[in-house]
Structure 1
Amino acid sequence: MDSLTFVGLLFAVVAIFGGQFLEGGSIDSLLNFPAAVIVFGGTFGAVLIQTNFATLKRSLKMFSWSFISPKLAPEQAIEKMVNWSVKARKSGLLGLEDDIDLQQDPFQRKGLILLIDGSEPEKIRESLLIELEASEKQALQAVKFYSSLGGYAPTMGIVGAVLGLIQVMGNLSDPSQLGAGIATAFVATIYGVGAANLMFLPIANKLKTIVQAQSLYREMYIEGIVLIAEGENPKIIEGRLQGFNPEYGH
């Protein structure tokens, strides 16, 4: 559970509504359903136009990562690959066949199969790097869904503001109708800018950080597999892989 996401959102909401209250304004004045429909409906509609279904599905699935990040365990992974190295030196690469079915990650499973099949170290590296790059590009494309939301939201806020002002201009002869139009105009701008900078863009940046961490984790795995294929000493393998561990030296 990533508590910082909850803390950040709570802090931002309290700051905005608290500031409004301290200035003597009414919190109810920030609640405007027409403005919300214009900004959020328009923003999501614009992003859906540029997004294919596969990317949308991947993006929605990744949203939960903002609150519950996929668990990466570099220490356990390093220990596992060192054990593979020891086993390979004792029993040969075929001695690792029983470990194939224990790998739940398809990427790790593929790497182990390539190793057992006796592929050349550079061929293993090349094959796994191609898959890593493709996977990373797909993930970053999914992250772009949220950064695009953050890009369109302020513009939709301006659209909402203009629509509100159009309503105001059309009802100049009826002062009782002016309040709703003005409220929609200003609140729509707040919704657009606020949603972009307090929700969509921070989520995109957090997901991008997670994708980068996953890529580094897989690079460590590739390095370990290649070193085993080269018959490197287990102690050297452990030392090399510790360089990928973000907690190493702390």
Structure 2
Amino acid sequence: MDIALIGGLAMAFLSIIVSTVMDGNSFGPLIGPSSFVLVFFGALGSAMSSLDKEDLGRIVPSILKSIKGASFDNSATVTMMAQLADVARREGVLALESRLGEIEDEFLKKGTQLILDGVDSERVEETLMIHMEAVGTRHKKMISFHEAVGGYMPTFGMIGTVIGLINMLGNLADPSQLGAGMAVALLTTLYGVIFANMMFLPFASKLKLISDAEQASMQVVLDGILSIQAGMSPQMLVERLESYLPPSEHVGYSDRMAAAA
């Protein structure tokens, strides 16, 4: 679970609950199934209309991914690439084939296979860049979807409020119902703001962070693959790739190889 997302949303919900209790208010008037249906499914449906059929199946996984989070161990990637560079330097590029089974990162495995296939550096870079752009494009679709849902929700909240006001004004003959009617009308606006700012917009922000982290991880691999293909020494490769890492993870070639041994 992504502690930052779960903790942040829990704090936001808790602030609403605590403030409501502190003011001596009850939660009964804040529960409105019809308002929920209008805001939640109305906004979701409008946003879904902009997706392709293939993307519809990625809605739930994208929500789960934002909640679960994702981490990319770039330091471990640098160590692996140092090992690959060492093998290529001592035994030749073709010797990398014996290490393919040890590579778990599919993007790194793809780049290593391109080297083994004798693809020139320009084509290797072009192929890997196309892969990175395709991944980024898929991520942007889901990010845009969640942003769209978050944008539509306040709008559907206002739609519900207008509908409620129209119904309320149609029953002016019974003044005793005006207060209750106004409360129901405003409830949809509340739902729209809450669900937008405490669910879908945070989901979109988290997915963007994950996407940026994945792209950064792929950039480390791309740089490393091209450096290995160019015959860069393992020591120089580590020094170069550690530039992508925070200073606390700069340990050098010797320590990395010793730890991996």
Please indicate the TM-score interval, normalised by the length of the shorter structure: over 0.9
For 2:26, give the aligned amino acid. Answer: S
Aligned residue runs from structure 1 range 205-220, under 5 A: 205-220=205-220
RMSD over aligned Cα atoms: 1.6
Alignment of 1:248 onto 2:221:
no
1:88/1:96 contact within 8 Å kept: yes
For 1:52, give the aligned amino acid. Answer: D
Distance 2:199 2:8 in 1: 10
For 2:152, give the aligned amino acid. Answer: Y
In the other structure, the counterpart of 2:229 is 229
In the other structure, the counterpart of 1:41 is 41
Distance 1:19 1:243 in 2: 47
2:5/2:206 contact within 8 Å kept: no
1:178 CA drift (Å): 3.4
2:144/2:204 contact within 8 Å kept: yes
Deviations 1:5-45 (A, max 9, x none): 12111111111122222223212221111111111121111
1:218 CA drift (Å): 0.3
For 1:248, give the aligned amino acid. Answer: P
Distance 2:147 2:243 in 1: 31
Residue 26 of structure 1 aligns to a residue whose secondary structure is: coil
1:132/1:215 contact within 8 Å kept: yes
Unaligned runs of 5+ in 2: 250-261
For 1:58, give the aligned amino acid. Answer: R
**Against the structure 1 CA distance between its residues 176 and 99, is the aligned structure 2 distance closer, same or farther, given a 3 Å change threshold?**
farther
In the other structure, the counterpart of 1:22 is 22
Residue 41 of structure 2 aligns to a residue whose secondary structure is: helix
Distance 2:80 2:44 in 1: 44
In the other structure, the counterpart of 1:110 is 110
Q: Give percent identity, aligned residues only.
A: 34
Aligned residue runs from structure 1 range 188-199, under 5 A: 188-199=188-199
* TM-score normalised according to structure 1 size: 0.93
Distance 2:247 2:56 in 1: 36
1:3 CA drift (Å): 1.1
1:56/1:142 contact within 8 Å kept: no
1:183 CA drift (Å): 2.1
1:59/1:143 contact within 8 Å kept: no
1:111/1:128 contact within 8 Å kept: yes
Alignment of 1:3 onto 2:3:
yes
For 2:25, give the aligned amino acid. Answer: G
Deviations 1:164-189 (A, max 9, x none): 11121121112454344322211110
* TM-score normalised according to structure 2 size: 0.90
